Structure formats: structure tokens, C-alpha cells
Amino acid sequence: MIEYCTGCFSLMPPAYVCVLVTLLDTRTAPGELKWAASPSEGGWEEVSIMDEKNIPIRTYQVCNVLEPSQNNWLRTDWIPRSGAQRVYVEVKFTLRDCNSLPGVTGTCKETFNLYYHESNDDKESYIKESSFIKVDTVAADESFTQVDVGDRIMKLNTEVRDVKVTTRKGFYLAFQDVGACIALVSVRVFYKTCPLTVRNLATFPDTVTGADTSSLVEVRGSCVNQSEERDEPKMYCGADGEWLVPIGGCLCISGYEEKSGACKVCPVGFYKAKSSDPGCAKCPPHSYALKEGTAVCECHAGFYRADSDPPAMACTQPPSAPQQLISVVNKTSVVLEWSPPRRLGGRSDTSYNVEYSGSQLCLPCDSDVIFSPRQTRLMTTRVVVSELRAHTHYTFIVQARNGVSQVSGTGAAQSVSVTVTTNQAAPSPVTFVQATDVTRHSLSLAWQQPDRPNGVILEYEVKFYEKDQKERSYRIMRTFSQSVDVAGLSPLTVYVFHVRARTAAGYGEFSAPFEFSTNSDPFPLIGEGVNSAFLLLSISGLGILLLISAAVFIITRRRSKYSKTKQDSEEEKHLNPGVKIYIDPFTYEDPDQAIHEFAKEIDVNSIHIERVIGMGEFGEVCSGRLRLQGKREIYVAIKSLKAGYSDKQRRDFLAEASIMGQFDHPNIIRLEGVVTRCKPLMIITEYMENGSLDAFLRKHDGQFTVIQLVGMLRGIASGMKYLSDMSYVHRDLAARNILVNSNLVCKVSDFGLSRVLEDDPTTEATGTYLSPGGKIPIRWTAPEAIAYRKFSTASDVWSYGIVMWEVVSYGERPYWDMNNQDVIKAIEEGYRLPAPMDCPVVLHQLMLDCWEKERAERPTFSQILNMLDKLIRNPGTLRRTGGDRPSAAILETDLGTDVCVSVIPEVCLQEWSVCEWLQSIGMERYRDTLAAAGYTSLDICIHRELDRLGIITPSHQDILLARVQQEMFSQMEHMQHTMVPV
Ligand code: ACK
């Protein structure tokens, strides 16, 4: 039989409720049950009765209250577990109150015991009592409804117990009576499953919950038809049968869109190109889809789509021809200008190509024609063509193109052309001249023909002069060839040479100057190339040297300026009165200087080590006593640095003390001093009797009032506010790094991870630090700190939210046994930890605020502290929880509703009352006593007392208020243990 339970998980839509699968229900069993009873006579007896709806049901009864030493066993038939790992046993029973039975003595009991025995054998005839494992002793409780049994009114109790059954195919249940008057009205055994469901287009199968109350079963979803994976779809089946933390999912493939959790085909005329597109869309203009499930619409005839066009873009056409092409010739250059085409074809990517042909084609120099800005893919409607041949006919064709010209295959059709004739022009300058056979009085000069002779060269002219003379007196030589011997020169003199060519159109321009020196030696030297190369090298070498020196100079100046700025800002911090800023010990060159500035050296003889209490990162942690001269002996914790440490380990070990030594706050672990002058090195701190908070809470699961938990959180928030005021970023705030003393005062500890990256001026102003690397505690760390190591007070606030969750859930592991990768994904997708069991709504809201994605939107520690103080003053606000225990929700119909609210006395409904506070910690019996002393409001009484004592500074009042509250909690706890009968 399958049944749905409700209210399992507040963050989930109703479709995610769990399913109960019944394995046994005596109410629906046909005929007699015939369970094995021992003794077979005089113990449990099967009796048929009519239930409240007058339907016959099978019950078992026993009532040997007058006889001593009863040991009556009743064993069910074998129950197959059908894959379940944790089963629930719901027993409805009536139990006679011993006082209502006349004449009974001390033999009468009001409880029975529930046992189970796992077995593969479905027909075990005899099972030893010792083979059964006890589940619980079951007593009648207050959750009853009244039923008529014949002429009597009986109280019907309902109790549910859960049992882990993982080792065999099935199990037997047994009920042991030891002298009570009981009737087992019904027994129902069931297990929970997370029902088959579709989430993010992935199907998750019906899944049996895990074996433990906190275990999550990781389930991989499979994409629904016509969909594909976007990111591996995953969900977790929680112990109570709800689906938790959906991550990843699927997307409908192209041609399909999501509708009601399935992928539906795109209709005719519609398309969807990519799975990531939101849905089917109408075909864009000039396109069509004749079939269902179209990914890309087809273009109408004469319209095209370029490869790079997105499917959502309309189909387009190539442009028509450019218009009004005009040309202006200037010697051997032509300027071409035109207007854009009349039709652009529906696109905006028109460009132009220019082609040309000349009347004397095939000369190699044609490749030297220059197009400015370029010849193809012109985005302008103007181009200058230069370096053409003189006196030549050219035809220029300007083509308009766009993105679909290529696919349409109609490129040539959209062009316009013009034919021009270039003018006659003189030859271009000679560009290369060299000297050979250099002597004291002569040299041979040779050159190459100009790049553009622009006709037949008739003659060359060489002009030269002594460099020192400038052009005041020069000589000219003319020749038909491309070389000339120059004689009559002075020895060891630099000469400047220019060469030009002449055609029928006249002389071209002279070449640039070429310098050559005559020799001191009668023998020729190698030409100018070597000398100028050497000169070039020398000059550039000198230049590089100069550049390097300049750069070194600038960098040195910058460096010294930067460190000066840094120093200045450090000094500024110190000069700023009232704001004490934490100083990173790693900024000290010598770590010993930092340690002696911030920590007191303790004489090792004043320490008395008593026992090892744990293992720290660097070695053992011990507890012991410290007696300093003139002071009373105190208990201390002693961390030591194990032998064989490296320099870095020593520095890191002492860094924690240098950090801790700068703090002085009741919620920060206090440093007593260090031992550095003898081995092993030690750090001495105050002793915290209850050790770390996470282990402490797990040990005392469910034992504190909400106010006590909030008191602890207040302490942590106060410590963190102090740290953030000092611009210190903790980076590893977690319950394991909070220590608890005997008064339940929580103190922040472990200052090992936190470090500022040196020399990063960009991060200083914002108080955000880049992590120097290393491990990051993923579950506690804000997403921006994980993604790009942006640690800040705001990321500490995120971690604080996780600590809140750990505290309220009594040390549960955040995100249970999900792996780190899934945690990161789930957070990225917007999921946040649900409220722990019985968590006040306001506290969960505060956690969610700390887990805002945008770090600027998270509260500050100061705001958190104010909020917690308000809650402590108004405990009534802590009463509303998001939902009861899921198991209680299953029994909702039997339990009735919100019992707690209905029993609050009228007088307690007034806000800010002491009465309400007492109510919330289960101490309402002292209401009258405190009221008689005039204490009607917590806020009033604490502040009144502080004012009376002359303590009026708000921050001091805050610290004392926290102390007073902690003190009150421990007093109340003490009263609870000593005065309240259990
Ligand atoms: O959970 P614990 O008992 O608390 O085990 C760890 C262990 O040492 C390694 O860190 C305990 N511890 C550390 N500092 C202190 C302290 N000041 N007082 C008491 N216990 C401490 C911590």
C-alpha cells in the first residue's frame, strides 16, 4: 500500500513529498494474525474487536497485572524489508493506568518493550529471546485520543519507532510484556521513499531512503524524451522521503520546447535552433518551416543566410551594384568614389572590392599598385589607387558585397566599372646605391634602376659633395649605365651621393643621400654596409643601455615610492586614535620581532602540564596550570610545536600567537603567552573546559533551550564584530574553531589560516584579501572566496551563517554527506541549507541573509549582533519554527495541533516579558517570584542594573549583557538540574 505524507520539507514544492510504503498493517490483514506468543497460554491473546468505524480488527491483549515476574512475548510473522533500509513501526495501543486497577500491587507495569530480529528465513519457528535487539521501551504518552471499548473509555496511544534493517532480507518484530494491561490495537510497519519525480526535465526514480536518519541517497536523473543534459542532473533523497537539493538538469533538444515538464515538438512555422534557446519561435522574415520539429527555418527563393547568421535572423539578399562611380586621375594615381547600392538586401554588412586591369598587362611591376585604405573588404566608398604606370589605360571594377554574396553566387552582377588613363610621369627615385673599390682618392658607385621608371631611362645623374661642405659646392656626373667611377676625391673624407634617372618625361627626383668615406689606406676597404651596420648596432646598443637604465631608475623610484606609501598608510593606521587595526605578523621581516611585540615570553618553569587533550596542526595540545608571579594559578591550554620543524612551520606556528596576542575580547580566545626560549616552542592560552563547539553540541544533542543556543551565537557574533572592527578577516570560521568554556561562553579561536597577501595595494582599501593559496573549507566559505579567493568580512559573515546552522542543528555537518563539488554547484544554483529541526524562523532568515550571493547585501556583524540581542530580549519571536519534526508531521492527525502555543499563559503574551523568556527555557514556575521582585522585562532589568552600577557606555553594556545572559543560562541550567524532578 502506498500513502503520501505531508509537510516534509519547507523549501520543496508539494510534488516532492515523501511516499510511505506499508509492509504490514494489522488493520487490513484478512483473517486471524496467528502471531507466535510465548507462553502460548496465559500471555498475549489474539482478540477480534470492532474499531471506531465498526470494522472488525485483530488485536493482541495481555493483562497479568496481579502476577509477578511476567515475561510475555509476542512475535510477528516474517516481514520482508523489500529493499528498505530504515523501517518505521507505528503501534496503536491502549494501556490501563495501574492506579485505575483495583487491588494491584507493585507488579503492575505501564510499559512494554519493542524488539526486532533480522533474518533471511521467513519461517523461523523458534527465535531465542537473546537474538532479538531492543528497539525501545514504549510507554503511553499524552498524545492520545479517546476510544470507546465496550462500556469503558480508553486512551488510544500512538507511538512510532524507526529501526535500521540492512543485513538480511527481512525481519521479525516482537513485543515483550512484563506485567502491564495492554491491548495492541494496530501495528503498522512502513518505510519511506522519495517518489518518482521529474525535475529540470530529468526523471528521478522512486528511491528508497537511506539507512540513517541523516543519510542522503544521491540519485542521478535521466533526461526526459527529446532532451539532453545541460549539467548532470542530480538530487538527494533525504531520510524523510523528500527530494533535496536538485542540481543540474536537462534541456529540450533543437526543434522541441519545454511544456509541463516534457519536451513538445515545435509546430509548423516555428523553430528552435539550440537546446539552450528558451522555446520555439516563429520563423524569421523570408523563411519558412513546413515540418514540425524544425531547428532552422529554410529561406524563401532568392533569399539567403550566411554561415555566421543566427537562425533568428531574417533571410537576406546580396546588395545591388554601387552607384555613381567617379574617378579623378593625378599623375600615376587615381581616386575612385561611388555611392552605396540602392538595395542593401536587408543587411548592414555591405563592403566593396576593387578590381582593375591595364592596357599593358603582365608586367611584373603591376603587383606594386597600392590601394588605400585597401583593395578588398572596403567599408568606405572611396579608394586611392597609386603607383600605377604612367600613361596607361586602366579599367576599375567596384563590386558591392555582403554576407550572402558568396552563398548566392551572384557576386559579379552587382558591380560598376570605370576606365581611366594615367598621366605621363618622371621616373621614381633610385632607392639603392653602393660604393665599391674605395681608395684614398676614388671609389666606384653602382645603383639599381628605379622601381617605377615610367618609361625608357635615357640617362642617370650623380650629384656628390664633401659632407662637411654641405651642398655649398658639389659635382655632377652623368652616365647611361648604372655605375660610375668617381675619382679626384680627398683621402679620409666623407662624401654624400644622390642619384636620379631621366626619361622622356624629364628627371625624376634625386635619391636619398648615401654617405661613403674615402680611405687613409691605399688599398680598398669593404663598402659602407659594414660601417653603417656597426654604427647602427652601436647606436641601438647605446639606446638599449639608456632605456634599461631609465627603466631601472623609474622602477626603483616606483618601488621606493610604493613602500613609502605602504608605510605611510601603516603609520596612518597607528596614528588614527580609537581604531585599533590588526597588524599582519607576516609584514615583519623578522618573525621573532612580531612575536615579542604581541606576546609575553613565559618562563617554562611556571607551566605545569597535566594531560594531552588533542592534536593540533603543529603538534599536541595539552591542558595544564600556569602560575605567574604575583598571580593566582589558572588553567591553560598548551599548544606545542613538534620536534623537527622547518623554518616555515616555526613562523606559521608563532604567527598564530602574534595574531591572537593583538586581541582582547571576552569572545576571542585569550593568549597568556609563549615559550620561545626553550624547546619545544609553546603557545599558552586560556583553558576552555568544554573544548570545541561542534563536538560539544554533538555530545549534548537536543539538550539546550533555543535561548541558550542564541546566547552562544551572540557570543560568537560579538567576537567576530570585534575582529571585523580590527579589520581582521578570519577565513576559517566554523564551529570546530569555536571553543566553549564551563559557562557556555563561546570564543573564536584558530587564527592559523588567516593571512593578508603582501604588497597588494588594490585590496587594502576594501579590506578584502586574496588568499595566498592552500585549502579552502568549502562548506563554510562564501562563493566569491571559493571562486576567486575574495576573502572579506562579508565572507566571514557567510561562514557565520553556516556556524549558526551548525549550532541550531547540534553539530550536524553542513550539506550532510554531499561532496564538495555538488555543494559548490548547489550554492551557485541558488540553493541554501534548510532550517534545521525546530529552528526558529527568524534564525533561519538570518542565516539566509548571511548567505546572500551579493556580499554587499549580507548583514554586518554589528547588525547580526543587534538582531540577536533583540531576539534574546523578545524570546517570543523565537517560538515560531518552520515546521515540526517530519516524523511528527506523519502523526499530525493523532497529535492535534500546536500544543505549545495553546499552553502559554495570557500574561506571557505581552512582549519583552521575563515571563515569556522563562517560558521558552522551561522555567515559567519562577514567573511569580521574579515578578514579585519587579522584574517584568528582561531588557529593563539588565539595563537598569547596569545603569545603577554606573556602567553607561553602550559597548560596555553589550559585553556585560552577554556575560550576564551567559551567567543566567548557567544558573538556570543549574536550577533545572537541582530543582526540577525528572
Ligand atoms: O574539541 P577539542 O576538545 O578542543 O579538541 C581540540 C584539540 O584541542 C585540538 O585543537 C582542544 N583545544 C584547543 N585549544 C583549547 C583550549 N584553549 N582549551 C581547551 N581545549 C582546547 C580542541
List b or e across 36-72, with b for residues whose CB sees 16 or more CB atoms inside 10 angstroms. bbbeeeebbbeeeeeeeeeeebbbbbbebbeeeebeb
Q: What is the pLDDT of residue 17?
A: 62
Report the number of distinct structural domains present in the chain: 7
Min mean pLDDT across 231-235, 485-489, 559-563, 958-962 is at: 559-563
pLDDT higher than 70, residue 936: no
CATH code assigned at 617:
3.30.200.20
Task: Tell me the pLDDT of the chain averaged across its residues.
Answer: 81
Q: What is the pLDDT of residue 797?
A: 98
Residue 620 annotated as part of some ligand binding site: yes
Residue 3 annotated as part of some ligand binding site: no
In a shared domain, residues 808 and 873: yes
Report the candidate in 630, 640, 641, 645 with the shortest Cα–Cα distance to residue 609.
640
What single letter denotes the amino acid at residue 142?
E
Three cell numbers at 262? Answer: 516534457
Task: Decide which of 268 and 152 is more confident.
Answer: 268
Average pLDDT of 118-139? 94
Task: Decide which of 933 and 540 is more confident.
Answer: 933
What's the domain range around 227? 197-252
Three cell numbers at 174? Answer: 516482537
Half-sphere exposure of 82 (CA within 13 A, CB side): 15
Distance 716 CA to ligand 1 centre (A): 17
Q: What is the pLDDT of residue 896?
A: 27
**Ligand 1 atom closest to the CA of 694, numbered from 1:** 1
CB 727 within 8 A of CB 754: no
- Domain end (from 164, 194, 224): 194
- Domain end (from 518, 541, 559): 518
CB 243 within 8 A of CB 237: yes
Distance 697 CA to ligand 1 centre (A): 14
- Please give the Cα distance from 580 to 367 (Å, whole number): 76
DSSP state of 859: P
pLDDT higher than 90, residue 176: yes
Is the CB of 614 inside a 6 Å radius of any atom of ligand 1? Answer: yes
Min mean pLDDT across 522-536, 574-588, 778-792, 927-941 is at: 522-536
CB 298 within 8 A of CB 287: yes
In a shared domain, residues 208 and 107: no
Ligand 1, atom 14: nearest CA belongs to which residue? 637
Residue 748 annotated as part of some ligand binding site: no
In a shared domain, residues 366 and 243: no
Q: What is the pLDDT of residue 956?
A: 60
In a shared domain, residues 89 and 187: yes
- Whether 465 maps to a domain, the answer reads yes
- Whether 571 maps to a domain, the answer reads no
Is the CB of 687 inside a 6 Å radius of any atom of ligand 1? Answer: yes
**Ligand 1 atom closest to the CA of 689, numbered from 1:** 19
CB 257 within 8 A of CB 279: yes
Distance 958 CA to ligand 1 centre (A): 27
Q: What is the pLDDT of residue 839?
A: 94
For ligand 1, pick from 688, 700, 732, 748 the residue to mutate: most ligand atoms within 8 Å of CB.
Answer: 688
In a shared domain, residues 96 and 134: yes
How does residue 879 score in pLDDT terms, banded at 50, 70 and 90?
Answer: confident
82: Cβ contacts below 8 Å, ≥ 6 apart:
21, 23, 191
Give the model confidence (pLDDT) of 65-74 as tens digits: 988 899 999 9
pLDDT higher than 60, residue 149: no
- Whether 5 maps to a domain, the answer reads no
Ligand 1, atom 10: nearest CA belongs to which residue? 616
What single letter denotes the amino acid at residue 219?
V
Task: Decide which of 85 and 240 is more confident.
Answer: 85
CATH code assigned at 868:
1.10.510.10
Min mean pLDDT across 138-147, 653-662, 866-875 is at: 138-147
Residue 210 annotated as part of some ligand binding site: no
Give the model confidence (pLDDT) of 457-505 as tens digits: 889 999 999 988 877 788 899 999 999 999 999 898 999 999 999 988 8
What single letter denotes the amino acid at residue 582?
Y
pLDDT higher than 90, residue 172: yes
How does residue 543 score in pLDDT terms, banded at 50, 70 and 90?
Answer: very low
How does residue 904 score in pLDDT terms, banded at 50, 70 and 90?
Answer: very low
In a shared domain, residues 175 and 227: no
pLDDT higher than 70, residue 924: no
Distance 749 CA to ligand 1 centre (A): 10
Q: What is the pLDDT of residue 941?
A: 53
Task: Decide which of 635 and 764 is more confident.
Answer: 635
Is the CB of 695 inside a 6 Å radius of any atom of ligand 1? Answer: yes
Number of neighbouring beta carbons within 10 Å of residue 236: 24
- Domain end (from 878, 905, 931): 878
Active site residue ranges: 732
Task: Decide which of 934 and 567 is more confident.
Answer: 934
- Whether 278 maps to a domain, the answer reads no
Distance 12 CA to ligand 1 centre (A): 39
Min mean pLDDT across 21-35, 209-223, 926-940 is at: 926-940
Average pLDDT of 339-360? 90
In a shared domain, residues 946 and 862: no
Is the CB of 685 inside a 6 Å radius of any atom of ligand 1? Answer: yes
Average pLDDT of 573-602? 76
Is the CB of 613 inside a 6 Å radius of any atom of ligand 1? Answer: yes
Ligand 1, atom 19: nearest CA belongs to which residue? 688
pLDDT higher than 90, residue 39: yes
CATH code assigned at 469:
2.60.40.10
Q: What is the pLDDT of residue 691?
A: 96
Give the model confidence (pLDDT) of 757-801 as tens digits: 333 333 333 333 444 445 789 999 999 999 988 999 999 999 999
Residue 618 annotated as part of some ligand binding site: yes
Ligand 1, atom 20: nearest CA belongs to which residue? 691
For the chain, how big is the Rg over CA atoms in Å? 47
Residue 153 annotated as part of some ligand binding site: no
Q: What is the pLDDT of residue 928?
A: 60
**Percent of the chain residues topping a pLDDT of 70:** 77
Average pLDDT of 630-646? 92
pLDDT higher than 60, residue 568: no
Average pLDDT of 138-160? 67
pLDDT higher than 60, residue 150: no
Distance 631 CA to ligand 1 centre (A): 24
In a shared domain, residues 964 and 857: no
In a shared domain, residues 343 and 223: no
- Whether 884 maps to a domain, the answer reads no
What pTM value is reported for the model? Answer: 0.54
In a shared domain, residues 919 and 871: no
**Percent of the chain residues topping a pLDDT of 90:** 59
- Percent helix, percent strand, percent coil in the chain, to nearest 5: 25, 30, 40
Chain CA centroid to CA 222, Å: 26
Three cell numbers at 943? Answer: 539595563
Report the candidate in 690, 710, 734, 900 with the shortest Cα–Cα distance to residue 808.
710
Q: What is the pLDDT of residue 169?
A: 96
pLDDT higher than 60, residue 940: no
Ligand 1, atom 12: nearest CA belongs to which residue? 691
- Whether 36 maps to a domain, the answer reads yes
Is the CB of 616 inside a 6 Å radius of any atom of ligand 1? Answer: yes
Q: What is the pLDDT of residue 926?
A: 60
Distance 667 CA to ligand 1 centre (A): 15
- Whether 733 maps to a domain, the answer reads yes
Is the CB of 637 inside a 6 Å radius of any atom of ligand 1? Answer: yes
CATH code assigned at 920:
1.10.150.50
Q: What is the pLDDT of residue 766?
A: 34
Residue 972 annotated as part of some ligand binding site: no
- What is the sign of the dihedral through the CA atoms of 641, 646, 652 and 654? positive
Distance 740 CA to ligand 1 centre (A): 9
Residue 346 annotated as part of some ligand binding site: no
In a shared domain, residues 715 and 813: yes
How does residue 364 score in pLDDT terms, banded at 50, 70 and 90?
Answer: very low
- Whether 568 maps to a domain, the answer reads no
Q: What is the pLDDT of residue 756?
A: 36
CATH code assigned at 216:
2.60.40.1770
List b or e across 868-902, with b for residues whose CB sees 16 or more CB atoms inside 10 angstroms. bbebbbbbbbbbebbbbebbebbbeebbeeeeeee
In a shared domain, residues 406 and 503: no
**Ligand 1 atom closest to the CA of 669, numbered from 1:** 17
pLDDT higher than 50, residue 357: yes
**Ligand 1 atom closest to the CA of 621, numbered from 1:** 8
Average pLDDT of 437-461? 90
Average pLDDT of 283-289? 97
Task: Decide which of 885 and 412 is more confident.
Answer: 412
Q: What is the pLDDT of residue 335?
A: 96
Average pLDDT of 662-666? 95
Ligand 1, atom 6: nearest CA belongs to which residue? 614
Q: What is the pLDDT of residue 408?
A: 87
Kindly state the helix (H) or strand (E) to which residue 672 belongs, with its residue range: strand 671-675
